Amino acid sequence: MIESPQNETFKRLLSLTTSKGLKEEGQFLLSGEKLVREFLKNPALKIAAELPAPRAKPLTEAKPIDLNFQLFAQIDVLGTRFNILVLEQPPLPTLTAADLRTYKPNGIELAAPTGDPGNLGALIRSAEAFGLTRVILSKEAAHPFLPKAVKASAGSVLRLPLAKGPMLAEFPSTCIALDMQGVPLDDFVWPKNGILVVGEEGPGLNGAKFDTVLRIPTKGVESLNAVVAASIAMSRIPPKTP
C-alpha cells in the first residue's frame, strides 16, 4: 500500500494527469467504470498496471498498485471511484508541414487545434461517429490522452486513428476550413478525399489561410460552439465508399 505523496511511483502516476507527464511516460490513465469495462472486453493496448479503487478487487492480471484513499482520489481526477487502468499510449505518427504538402488523405480527415481537452475529446467522438478516417492534431491541440479528453471522447481516442501535425498556420491551403464566413455548408460538394480544418473556440482559424472556407448559416446568434459547428459540418460529409 502506497501512503506517501512523496513515493516515486505515486508521483509518476500523478504526472499522467498532465500533458508533460503523458509525453514523458508514454502511458495514460483509463478511468470510468463504463470505459474500463468496455476496454477489457477487447483490450487493444498493453495494460501496464491497475489501480484498484479503495476496498475494490483488481479486474485484471496486470500489476496492481494499491494507493490509500487520499492518494487514489488525487489520481482519480474525474471522481469515478472505480478501478483505473494504466495503459501504454499507441504510437501517433507525426506529419510535418512538408509531409502535408504531398499528403493524400484517406477519405475526409479532421485537423484540430482544440486546446481544451474536454472539447477535443468531444470532437474526436463526433469524428468517429460521422465516419471521418483520422484526426490530425495541430501543435496547438491538447494532449488526446488527458483524462478529461479520454472521458469526453467516450473511448473514441482508443479507436480512431490519430496523428500529430504542425501549427495550424502550416497546414496546406488546400484544406477545407470551417469559419464564420465562406460558402454556405449546404451548397458545398464534398470531395472524396480531403482535410477539414476546424478552428479553436474563440480565436477560430487564428490567421491561417485556406482556399475553401465553409460557414454554417445561423439565425439570431453570431456563432456556434466549435464542437457543435464541427459536428454539423461532419454530419454533411457523404459516407466513404470503397
- Using one digit for the tens of pLDDT, what is the confidence trace for 61-80? 998 999 999 999 999 999 99
Verify that 109 and 53 share a domain, yes or no.
no
Cell numbers for 130: 460521422
Verify that 76 and 169 share a domain, yes or no.
no
Q: Residue 2: inside a domain, yes or no?
A: no
C-alpha pair distances (Å), 69 with each of 13, 47, 56, 82, 122: 15, 22, 11, 12, 30
For residue 203, pLDDT over 70 is answered with no
CA-closest candidate to residue 124, choices 88, 160, 89: 160
For residue 163, pLDDT over 70 is answered with yes
Verify that 114 and 230 share a domain, yes or no.
yes
Verify that 129 and 80 share a domain, yes or no.
no
- Number of structural domains the chain divides into: 2
Verify that 162 and 113 share a domain, yes or no.
yes
Strand runs (DSSP E) across the chain, as ranges?
27-30, 47-51, 84-88, 108-112, 135-137, 162-164, 176-184, 194-198, 212-215
Residue 77: Cβ-neighbour burial (10 angstroms; 0-12, 13-18, 19+) = middle
Q: Residue 241: inside a domain, yes or no?
A: no
Verify that 150 and 220 share a domain, yes or no.
yes
Last residue of a domain, one of 38, 66, 88: 88
C-alpha pair distances (Å), 35 with each of 42, 62, 65, 137: 12, 17, 20, 23
pLDDT tier, 97 (very low <50, low <70, confident <90, very high otherwise): very high
Is the pTM higher than 0.95? The answer reads no
CA-closest candidate to residue 134, choices 159, 97, 161: 161
Verify that 146 and 201 share a domain, yes or no.
yes
Give the span between the Cα atoms of 127 and 110, in whole angstroms: 7
- DSSP-derived pairing of the beta strands 27-30 and 84-88: antiparallel
For residue 198, pLDDT over 60 is answered with yes
Q: What is the CATH number of the domain that holds 205?
A: 3.40.1280.10
Domain hosting 84: range is: 8-88
Give the span between the Cα atoms of 194 and 198, in whole angstroms: 13
Verify that 83 and 109 share a domain, yes or no.
no
Q: Residue 28: inside a domain, yes or no?
A: yes
The answer to whether the CB of 171 falls within 8 A of the CB of 164 is no
Q: What is the CATH number of the domain that holds 48?
A: 3.30.1330.30
Verify that 77 and 158 share a domain, yes or no.
no
Verify that 75 and 132 share a domain, yes or no.
no
Q: How many CA atoms lie within 13 A of 88 on its CB side?
A: 9
Last residue of a domain, one of 43, 58, 88: 88
Verify that 40 and 81 share a domain, yes or no.
yes
Verify that 35 and 147 share a domain, yes or no.
no
Last residue of a domain, one of 41, 58, 88: 88
**12-26, 179-193, 208-222: which has the highest mean pLDDT?**
12-26
Q: What is the pLDDT of residues 105-153, one digit of tens each?
A: 999 999 999 999 999 999 999 999 999 999 999 999 999 999 999 999 9
